[in-house]
């Protein structure tokens, strides 16, 4: 995954080549689902948000000033779409039943629930880094292509997130 390729694909997509946009979608869709899931904490809704974000990105594509930064740009759109969906869900007061169902299925549910709570309490920008890293086992380089930050910064965020999670679990009597 290189920025130069993104740049070329964006240019082709603007010249009536839908397949190029399709390639960009396939490239970033898993990361977008992870980004949206870190906001919504619901995998199915996250898939919806990622698809919606790609539709937004498609409409806004001619306005993208730096095509080589398509990844961070579409991730920012996805974050906003997910936040809008979360607000709508809060207004409708829909409980995140999907997550609860998933937790119940696991054998070591006490520890898993604690981990889920620790993740839920993380600041969103740290939770996003954790999700990107562990969702699809992304490398720092791939994460940098989505977040638009340096690999050092991503490493720092990830370490901070893990420190917070470990401290929370210790405070609740679980050794990580």
Partner 1 sequence: MNRKDDIDRLDEMLAKHLRREPTPFDFEQWAHRFPEDAKLLRSGFPRAAVNRRTQLVQIGRCIMTSRYTRLVGVAAVVLVAISFLFPGRNGIVPESVAWADVQNAVEKAMEQTHNARVTGTRNCFFSKDETPTYKLGLEKLFSLSYGYVDRTFTEDGRLIIEFAYDLRTGTVTILFPTYKRYYRTQMPQEFHEKARQVTPEKFFEWLFASGDFRKIEPREIQGVQAVGFEVSDLPERFTGSGGFSRKLVDFFLSFGESNTRMWVNPKTRLPIQVEAEGEIKPCLLTSYQEMRLREIDDRWEFDVELDGAQFLPAIPVDYQELTLPIALKAQTALYAARMGSIAPVLLAVGCLQRRRNRTPAAAS
Binding residues vs partner 1 (CB under 8 A): 13-19, 21-22, 25-26, 29-30, 33, 43, 47, 51, 54-63, 65, 73-74, 76-77, 79-80, 83-84, 87, 90, 111-112, 115-116, 119-121, 123-125, 130-131, 133-137, 150, 152-153, 155-157, 159-160, 162, 165-166, 175-176
d(CA 81, CA 17): 25
CB closer to partner 1 out of 3 and 89: 89
Name the H helices within the chain: 3-14, 18-40, 43-60, 70-92, 97-105, 109-121, 124-135, 140-147, 151-171
Report in angstroms how near the CB of residue 92 gets to partner 1 at its nearest.
14
d(CA 12, CA 119): 39
Report in angstroms how near the CB of residue 54 gets to partner 1 at its nearest.
7
Total Cβ atoms within 10 A of residue 1: 13
Report in angstroms how near the CB of residue 175 gets to partner 1 at its nearest.
8
């Amino acid at each position: 995954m290189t920025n130069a390729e993104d740049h070329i694909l964006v240019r082709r997509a603007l010249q009536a080549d839908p397949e190029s946009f399709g390639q960009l979608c396939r490239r970033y869709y898993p990361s977008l689902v992870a980004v949206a899931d870190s906001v919504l904490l619901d995998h199915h809704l996250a898939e919806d948000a990622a698809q919606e974000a790609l539709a937004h990105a498609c409409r806004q594509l001619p306005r993208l000033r730096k095509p080589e930064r398509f990844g961070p740009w579409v991730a920012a759109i996805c974050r906003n779409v997910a936040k809008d969906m979360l607000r709508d869900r809060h207004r409708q007061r829909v409980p995140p039943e999907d997550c609860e169902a998933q937790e119940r299925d696991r054998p070591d549910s006490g520890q898993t629930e604690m981990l889920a709570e620790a993740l839920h309490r993380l600041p969103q920008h740290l939770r996003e880094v954790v999700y990107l890293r562990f969702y699809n086992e992304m490398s720092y380089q791939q994460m940098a292509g989505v977040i638009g930050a340096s690999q050092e910064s991503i490493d720092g965020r990830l370490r901070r997130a893990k420190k917070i999670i470990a401290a929370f679990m210790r405070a609740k009597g679980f050794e990580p």
